[in-house]
Amino acid sequence: MITNTRGPKMFMQLRKTDDKSVLEKALSHFDGFHVGASLLSSLGVFVQDVGKPFFIDPMTYRFILPPEHIIDREKGTVPRWMRYLAKTYSPILEHSLGKKTLTANDLNATRGGIQELTCNTLEYERTRFDTSEPALINKYFDKYDAFEEIGDSIAHNIQGTRPSFVIPPFFLVEEVGDPWYRLNLICSRIAAEQKKPEELLYGVLFLRKEILLNSECVDIVRDYADRRLAGIALWVNGLSEESANTEILSNLIRLIDGFRSIGKVVLKLNGSYLSILMNHNGLSGFSCSLSYRSDRDVNVSKWIIPGPPKAKFYIPGLHQAYSLDETEHVLRMFPFLKCSCRVCRDSYGNDLDIFQLEMKKVGYCQNHFLNARKAELDGFAQRGISGAIEDINEVLYCLKKKNAKGARHLTKWLNLMKAVQSVGTGIELPAKVNELESASIRHG
């Protein structure tokens, strides 16, 4: 279970096979895995062998995309993992896969259909890594301290077979109260009925970011107040924590705080440094990938992005990643932003002439990022929000001394944290918390 005592927990997403070689050297730098149902089986074996906590994203939202977003443009076929999952989850998904865009009505046509989808999804998550052969020897056990160790890491178990919590099937919500919103609530209610006594169940909110421009946070919190939900997994589609406007981010914080006020653990899917700061407002944890980005968008398919991703360097003082060109330029202008983690020390050191050459090497930027992120997490755990604000103020002061513009995201975060600290979030909930049954009645 995620606790809130030492700063937020960070769950790493595995996207490609290269991620394994980076993460296996930094096992003490993160708390667990966010496993997408599309994960390659070789990476699944890695997650299982490592034995850290994990949860499974069933990726049901992918099945309601238009066929042109589902069919691989190069191969002209539906990816094998989707065919397998459709067969596992529901005949409704299987019959429409790659042929038509599913509506909420299609899924909700019969109570039996949505019940079957929910039960099969939970069972898939429970058994994804379940094995009859217990791993008595954990080959990663002695690797936990091999990287640059700073502070403690979460205890790992020797048999990483069961998820820390299960989540119901979920779909992208366009508006609060829309058919997908209601369907997500129905899936949550069915999952709560099907939950095993020893199991933790999280509800999922997968929201279009514009929803956060409206003041409907209280309604959402009430709808997901069911006591059988131990927590909430929150994903705001395409939301960049760096570039989103202040109103959206303020309402995101209100939403998180609202859930905290009724005792729910909140985990944000796809977070960046702001997610660490939001631990102050009740965010218990977040997941992120080695792309360092928080703006994952379900409507952007991987084959639409042209060319291989270019190496990016996460500048710790700015809490954001930049291209190697930009980074070199910034570090030459502002030497106080140089990183002194082990990867940086042992590669380019103080010689910026070889910075790009060194950091282009496979895994270097990512290993540096994990060191920088661990320092951010430990710093927050030790000094809290006031320490983080102090550090951002210091960076902004040093930038200002040189009349430098930019780093607007830092100013925004700073103002956001100060505003939220002084005003409070203003969410008031009735003393008696409604269960999902009453919420679904209200929404018809």
Binding site for Zn ion (CB under 5 A): 339, 341, 344, 368
Q: How far is the CB of 368 from Zn ion (least distance, A)?
A: 4
Q: Which residues of 181-214 are buried (b: 16+ CB within 10 A; e: fewer)?
A: bbbbbbbbbbbbebbeeebbbbbbbbbbbebbee
CA distances from 376 to 10, 380, 385, 409 (A): 11, 6, 12, 17
Residue 372 Cβ vs Zn ion, minimum distance, rounded to whole Å? 6
| Least distance in angstroms from the C-beta of 370 to Zn ion | 9
CB of 387 to Zn ion, least distance (A): 20
Q: DSSP assignment of 63-104, as one string?
A: GGS-HHHHS-TTT-S--HHHHHHHHHH-HHHHHHTTTS---H
Q: Which is nearer to Zn ion, 84 or 336 (CB)?
A: 336
8 with 285: CB under 8 angstroms? yes
Q: How far is the CB of 358 from Zn ion (least distance, A)?
A: 11
For residues 173 and 344, which CB has a smaller minimum distance to Zn ion in the complex? 344
Among residues 8 and 316, whose Cβ is nearest to Zn ion?
A: 316
| Residue 317 to residue 372: CA distance in whole angstroms | 9
Pick between residue 32 and residue 316 the one whose CB is nearest to Zn ion.
Answer: 316
- Which one, 265 or 370, has the nearer CB to Zn ion? 370
Q: Which is nearer to Zn ion, 341 or 388 (CB)?
A: 341
CB of 218 to Zn ion, least distance (A): 42
**Going edge to edge, which strands form the sheet with 54-57?**
54-57, 32-36, 9-13, 283-288, 265-268, 231-237, 202-208
202's enclosing H/E stretch is: strand 202-208
Minimal distance, residue 296 CB to Zn ion, in Å: 24
At 195, list the tokens.
């939950």
- CA 221 – CA 214 distance, rounded (Å): 14
Q: Which is nearer to Zn ion, 96 or 367 (CB)?
A: 367
Between 314 and 380, name the residue whose CB sits nearer to Zn ion. 314
Given the complex with Zn ion, which of 370 and 392 has the nearer CB atom? 370
H/E segment holding residue 442: helix 436-442
Rounded CA-CA distance 374/371 in Å is 5
Nearest to 37 by CA among 97, 110, 126: 126
CA 104 to chain CA centroid, Å, is 25
In whole angstroms, the minimum distance from the beta carbon of 247 to Zn ion comes to: 34
Which residues, at least 6 apart from 157, have a Cβ–Cβ distance to it below 8 Å? Answer: 51, 53
> Minimum CB separation from Zn ion for residue 10, in Å?
17
Between 303 and 336, CB nearer to Zn ion = 336
For residue 168, what are its two tokens?
């119901």
Report, in Å, the least distance between residue 287 CB and Zn ion: 22
Return the number of the residue (339 or 385) whose C-beta is nearest Zn ion: 339
**Residue nearer to Zn ion on the CB measure, 2 or 344:** 344
Can you tell me the distance from the alpha carbon of 181 to that of 104, in angstroms, rounded to the nearest whole number?
Answer: 9
CA distance from start to end of the chain: 34
Which is nearest to 377 in space by CA: 40, 12, 110? 12
- Contact in structure between 25 and 341 (CB atoms under 8 Å): no
Whole-number minimum distance, CB 383 to Zn ion, in Å?
20
3-class SS shares of the chain: helix, strand, coil, % to 5: 50, 10, 40
Cβ 30 to Zn ion shortest distance, Å: 16
